[in-house]
Structure 1
Amino acid sequence: MKGHLCDIAKKPVSPKVKCKLNACENAGIGNRNCDICGKSFNWKSQYKSHMDIHIGAQKHQCDICGKAFSAKRNLERHMDIHVGVKNHTCDICGKAFIRKSYLSLHMDMHAGNKNHKCDVCGKAFTRKADLTNHIKVHVGNKNHECDICGNSFVHKSSLDKHMDIHAGVKNHKCDICGRAFTQNGHLSHHMDMHAGNKNHKCDVCGKAFTWKGDLTHHIKVHIGIKNHKCDICGNSFVKKSSLNKHIDIHAGVKNHKCDICGKAFTQIRQLSLHMDMHVGTKNHKCDICGNSFVCKGTLNNHMDIHAGVKNHECDICGKAFTQKEHLKCHMDMHAGTKRHECDICGKTFTQKGHLKSHMDMHAGNKK
């Protein structure tokens, strides 16, 4: 028996059915609303797929990773991830994406669009996901804890980067000097140093810094905050790193060694000043007599001579000296200590000046 043609589905059906069933499946169910979320559908198949989402029915499973989806089209999109299909390419930078929606978000970045704003601090983000992660900072949710040191982080990605520090992984290398860093952000800051970029300026004194962290510590100098105290001598410091360097002085740690003479120093700046001595660099000049010095501290001591300042007094006889070294030599005289020995005859002297006069005698110099 020849079938009838369904006016809606345009398919032949049995006369007994008379398009009733076919019309129901193809023409749909009319303008029906979902009782749960209120969304409207014209087709029964769409309505059924939608209801699967609400009841958690995930009939379409990925053969590769086992992940299941409510709708077949979602599984098809998911498969693009496994096969690496990226059909949506950015016209500006050439970066490709699996989904068009990802490309749209990426284009917002190029355009500088930041439509997702934090209600707490006002910071804006290009992606909603970034705002969601940012909100966790305000509410103090740090669910990702390091098993080694116990530090907690808001984002898992931050924990992963932190773990690289423990593992000593340094994948970010400077093309100029070869120095490697654990995090890309640290490399970026390092590159600013090579470029001479100092974008962080102090509003008080105008001093500029490459890194924001250095400016933050510098501000504490102005307001007098020194939270890092030495348990040995009581000196306080703005930065913990400064305290650590200071502790090295007490411990006698000298990790900075001169390649020329082998002398070692506690601090790298002391080594830098020492190197100036080898190369003959004397940038600190006295305005009164014109003498130049390697170190500013030496110039300051020299200025005390011109000013007649004698702050270093002998506890035994009361004699005062301009420089601490002079007092030290004087104390050797009281103690009978003779540190300066003649290489020719072995005679020892309390003061270096006396040894020098003695050496002139050996050389036949009579003044």
Structure 2
Amino acid sequence: MEEEESTDMCQTCLERGRFLYPLRKLTSTLHELGIPIRTDVTSGVCWECKTFIMKIKKFKAQVMQVQDALMAIATRQDLQSLSRLTYYSKCTYDLEIIYTDTLNVNEIKKEQIVENSLDRDTSVEANTQITYDDKSKFLKKIQKQELLESKVKDKYTMIVFTEEEMLKNREEKRNQPNYKKIPYKCESCVLGFLRKETYNQHIKKRHDKNIGKYVCNICQSCYISMKSLKKHIKKHYVVYKCTLCDYETLELWSVVSHCRLKHSKDVHGRIHCQQCSVIVGTPNELSEHMQSNHLLKCNQCNEKFKGKHTLRTHKIRIHGVKRDYICDICKKTFKTKSRLESHIVSHNTILANKMAFCMECNVQYKNIYVYRNHLKNSANHSERVYECEDCKKKFASKVYWRKHWEFYHLHKSSFKCEICNKIFISDWRLKNHRQTQHGLTRSRNHCCNVCGKKFFTQSTLRGHQLTHSEERSYMCEDCGDTFKQRPALYTHSRLVHKTTRVTTTTKV
């Protein structure tokens, strides 16, 4: 077989780099038109030349059709024109062209031909010319929006945040419990997603570098133009709030639409309820009215909800699954035994203390959650134990064992005081060392409401407040003496009974 000739050049215009249509598919057309082109080569013609060839073929067919029609009839008066153009007569003219200078051919700029983006891989940005009709529609849309804004401008307000307030709002949103529990999070935008597909779609839509070169310095979102970026950055600092209710939004059109649909008849001092004929004076009164009169009630547990969607979700999540564990006191059902135990302690303090007492270690814990953490991390309750070869101390976690080994036996730690070069096992111990030994100041924000004494932490304040109460919750199991604070019981057991095991019970 002979080796076929191959080239990437168009056989009719010599253009390179374009997508070529195979000539073998145009053999019959070229033969019909009488165009002398070799059709045995492996190359072809570009899209532009192929378009011309097909137009010539179509024009030839039209000429043949007209000639056949002319031969069939004697006169041309009954013939219908096949031209797509229309014309009309104009007798007056409102345009006059006056040439004052001679035309210089050398000064005529050559037209730049921009190839179709389908021909090349690189995209070409073309400036689109706005027609008169499009411009008119755009202006009408702007005028309509301004008219709607003017009608409701006294029903909403625009709140502008400073840089510090904006960052504080983002941090508060990041610290919300629901945001922390959500599985997939975009830390740049402070947005949470329940499904990984939705999260990946957000990353591709907002943070893909191929979107554009303009990047927001706050949330790292990418945009194709500076105008779009400025419009986006404004949303970080501006929020629109309805003055007749608690509605808030980042978009101006959204608050205008809300005020037009929800508060068309409302004015300040006269706010109509959307579900009844009651008229209230302030947004707080409207919220109280909705809470007391228009909340939806679950027919199984009598819990109230604001909307149908929330109620439907509650029924699916709470009542739509099998719950085998039932509270004997309030008849509330639970999916797991641990959730039932956590609920039961809210009914009885004595029962709560009993459920937080470890029989094997003979230790009373603060609550059932601390007790569960003890069962999880204590070597006395772990199925697998990690023992230190030097000091024979046992650990339930390999992480704790390695941390103990590196700090106490290898004297290695990443928490080092830069003032005295002393190392510590945790960041909390290093911070406490800096405050007590080197005078690092920290505020005493927790104040006792009885004596006014201030403390660094809430837990220290709670321990101090026990000194003001008559309740002596800590009792020695050896002699029966009671104490108000746990440290006092610990000191008593160590000095009197020569033991460091502390058992606490509630005095009945």
Q: TM-score normalised to the size of structure 2?
A: 0.25
Rg larger in structure: 2
Q: TM-score normalised to the size of structure 1?
A: 0.31
**Greater RCO, 1 or 2 (C-alpha within 8 Å, sep 6+):** 2
